Structure 1
Amino acid sequence: MLDPTLRREGEPEILPGRKLAARVAGIYTAPSDHFVTRAVEALPLGFEGIDGDFHAGHTRRSGGREPWYPRGTEMRNERQLSIVAPDELAIVAGRMGLSEIKPEWIGANLLLDGVPMLSMLPSGTMLFFKGGVTIKIDGQNAPCRIAGRSIAEHAGMADHDAGSLMFPKAAKRLRGLVGWVEKPGAIFAGEEVSVRVPEQWIYRA
């Protein structure tokens, strides 16, 4: 009888899925004409994301993150929400010589507390909010100069260009995550979140 636990030669190690607990420390939305967000009391979500938000929509236009498409190609919007962590923002602020970086300055929609190394959660991670919303993680949110300039302006840095160049380096793998709405509803500050990390492996073939 075959043992299903035996690994084939060269097969990668598979790490089992796990559950983590988090809490919503802040919720934010952006007007339709600018990515900088503002704090709100509730975050109503539909299948298009946050109604009226800068990043709402079933689809979006490709940009510099998708060099395999001509810029402006219509594609699925997997970047409906931006999710950051307070401890990672503090690290980035320290690297930039700032006292703080507020989630709103870089267009965040959710501030999640309690997950170690939030930005390293793998694609496919599910966020189950106690109120019923489910968000699926697409991947890391690569830091860009636009967010860096916003930080420089809001923090009162003397050289805005230097700030825009500094942020992508200081925030590498600390910029948080992007995700999309799998199950709509409303999210509230202080809400509990069950974070379900899927099985993981490194494909080397």
Structure 2
Amino acid sequence: MADLFGREHMDELQSMPARKLPATTVKVLATQTPDDFRTTWTAALKLCFEGIPGGRHTGHTRRSGSREPWYPRGTEMCNERQVSILSVEELAEVAADMGLPRIEAEWIGGNILLEGLPRLSLVPPRTRLVFAGGAVLRVDGDNMPCRIAGASIAEHYPDREGIDLLFPKTARRRRGLVAYVERPGVIRPGEAVTAHIPEHWLYR
């Protein structure tokens, strides 16, 4: 129920309390050249306030693209997409639903592969991913699957047609997260991470 000013009574808000959930870092990956979004395994991933040094998505700002139709393409804007985070469980689900043996994080430009965090892509914005070594990432939101990533997957299954178009449909809300660096540090495989999920609610 709302009052005369349209405000809902606080006890009627559909809200979820803040909580902490554990996960494990399985892989860390980085791009080799600015022209290729695909990533390769590395023993340690260094993070600075601009993102991953030398990475394709490094920088305090970036240029807008198809994901930001409210700006003219190429508009300089804040870079909230410094790091791509993927889930072992979600990649397995998407691969199974596409009838594929597997999808690897490096094929679609992942930087950090996590295991043990349920429904990773649905983690709410403002969640802080706190790594045991001290690095902290702040989640901006889920990553929209695109045909470019689908085409990269298709390169590994040349006998299958239509993977480039099937991936965006199948991976929706299971493509992982994009985040920016809140606290610099170094992340390594096997490192524990805690998702500090803030209180959140359904905004009507």
TM-score normalised over the length of structure 2: 0.93
1:40-97 per-residue CA deviation (whole Å, 9 max, x = no partner) reads 0000110010001111111111001000000010101100000010110011111211
Query: Is the Cα–Cα contact under 8 Å of residues 93 and 99 in structure 1 kept in the other structure?
Result: yes
Identical pairs, percent:
54
Map of 1:39 onto structure 2:
41
Q: What TM-score, normalized by structure 1, do the two folds share?
A: 0.92
Aligned length: 196
Structure 1 letter corresponding to 2:151: R
Give the CA deviation at 1:194.
Answer: 1.1
Could you list the runs of 5+ residues in structure 1 that have no partner in the other structure? 1-6
2:36 aligns to what SS in structure 1?
coil
Q: How far 1:154 sits from its partner (Å)?
A: 2.3
Tell me which residue corresponds to 1:195. 195
Aligned equivalent of 1:126: 128
Q: Matches of 2:40 and 2:155 in 1, distance apart?
A: 16
Assess if the C-alpha contact under 8 Å between 1:143 and 1:175 holds in 2.
yes
**Aligned structure 1 segments of 4 or more residues deviating by more than 4 angstroms:** none
**Structure 2 partner of 1:94:** 96
TM-superposed deviation, 1:14: 2.3
Cα offsets for 1:93-137 (capped at 9, x unmatched): 112111000000000000011101111100000000010000000
Deviation at 1:11, TM superposition (A): 4.5
Quick one: distance in 1 between partners of 2:17 and 2:67?
30
CA-CA distance at 1:12 after TM superposition: 1.6
Distance in 2 of aligned mates of 1:129 and 1:59: 24
Q: Deviations over 1:124-167 (max 9, x none)?
A: 000000100000000000000000000001233443xx111100
**Pair 1:151 & 2:183 matched:** no
5+ unaligned residues in a row in structure 2: which ranges? 1-7
| Deviation, structure 1 residue 200 | 1.0
> Which residue number in structure 2 is paired with residue 175 of structure 1?
175
Q: AA paired with 2:127?
A: T
